[in-house]
């Protein structure tokens, strides 16, 4: 029970990496609040969570709406007793080559992937500062370090998340709050459903471990950074990518 009695807020928790992380945390004794824009999937995920740990809840939330985020965070604190861990996992893609990328595609991805991380972290900060303790874990991407064709908007947000992570680690470390990021490689989530099978096979071949990532691989890394085992880790960007960027 590495997270016994800890309260974790996981954005984008209805599926994929967020859901795998929520289930992992629940098994480790955490009280888990998942937030997602998709209410139907959120309630389905909650049923699974409560089969593992009854101290879980789901709240529909749009991370781009700062007022809504603040209200939801206050609700979670009221019902679960605080927030010790924040997993900023909510993210979207709207890929296009630069010449064809629309302003709407740019703004939407920036809003969810970058502004959303800002909104959620700022909302939980007062509660962590009150305790002088907390773990903030941001989901970045290897794309944020190395770029990717057709992902100007996505790469920009993930690079921004890494920059915010390092800035917050410097600001908040002395106040007992660890801020780190995970940079997943190609991971088999719903985001990958539109990628042709041949491309997935090629990416697996390029990965030294010979396979693409699974949501549980990222969940395991989140568990380490959320637990007391990482208390001296701050400002790190942990690549969980099978070695694809070597």
| Residues 94, 71: Cα–Cα separation, whole Å | 28
Q: Would you say 154 and 111 are in contact if contact means Cβ atoms under 8 Å apart?
A: no
The single-letter DSSP state of residue 151 is B
Catalytic residue among 75, 154, 186, 232: 154
Q: How far apart are the C-alpha atoms of 140 and 159, rounded to whole Å?
A: 7
Distance (Å) of CA 98 to CA 57, 150, 153, 154, 161: 40, 7, 9, 12, 21
Dist CA 3 CA 13 (whole Å):
18
> Does the annotation count 154 as an active-site position?
yes
Where in the chain does DSSP place strands (E)? 7-11, 31-36, 56-60, 85-88, 134-139, 177-184, 237-240
Tokens of 133: 């303790």
User: Rounded to whole angstroms, how far apart are CA atoms 195 and 105?
Assistant: 19
Distance in angstroms (rounded) separating the CA atoms of residues 210 and 216: 17
Question: Which strands make up the sheet holding 85-88, listed edge to edge?
Answer: 56-60, 31-36, 7-11, 85-88, 134-139, 177-184, 237-240
Closest C-alpha to 117, from 156, 75, 170, 152 = 156
Q: Which residues are catalytic?
A: 154
């Amino acid at each position: 029970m590495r997270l016994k009695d800890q309260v974790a807020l996981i954005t984008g928790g209805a599926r994929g990496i967020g859901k795998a992380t929520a289930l992992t945390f629940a098994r480790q004794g955490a009280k888990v609040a998942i937030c997602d824009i998709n209410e139907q999937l959120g309630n389905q995920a909650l049923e699974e969570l409560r089969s593992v740990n009854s101290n879980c809840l789901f709240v529909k939330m749009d991370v781009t709406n700062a007022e809504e985020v603040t209200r939801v965070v206050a609700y979670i604190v009221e019902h679960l007793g605080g927030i010790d861990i924040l997993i900023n996992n909510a993210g979207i893609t709207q890929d296009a080559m630069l010449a064809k990328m629309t302003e709407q595609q740019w703004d939407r991805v920036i809003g969810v992937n970058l502004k959303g991380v800002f909104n959620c972290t700022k909302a939980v900060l007062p509660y962590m500062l009150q305790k002088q303790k907390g773990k903030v874990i941001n989901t970045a991407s290897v794309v944020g370090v190395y770029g990717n064709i057709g992902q100007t908007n996505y790469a920009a947000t993930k690079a921004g998340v890494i920059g915010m992570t390092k800035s917050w680690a410097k600001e908040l470390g002395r106040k007992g709050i660890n801020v780190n990021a995970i940079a997943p490689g190609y991971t088999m989530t719903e985001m990958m459903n539109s990628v042709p099978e041949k491309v997935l096979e090629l990416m697996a071949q390029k990965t030294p471990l010979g396979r693409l990532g699974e949501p549980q691989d990222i969940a395991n890394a989140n568990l380490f950074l959320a637990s007391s085992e990482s208390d001296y880790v701050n400002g790190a960007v942990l690549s969980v990518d099978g070695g694809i960027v070597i």
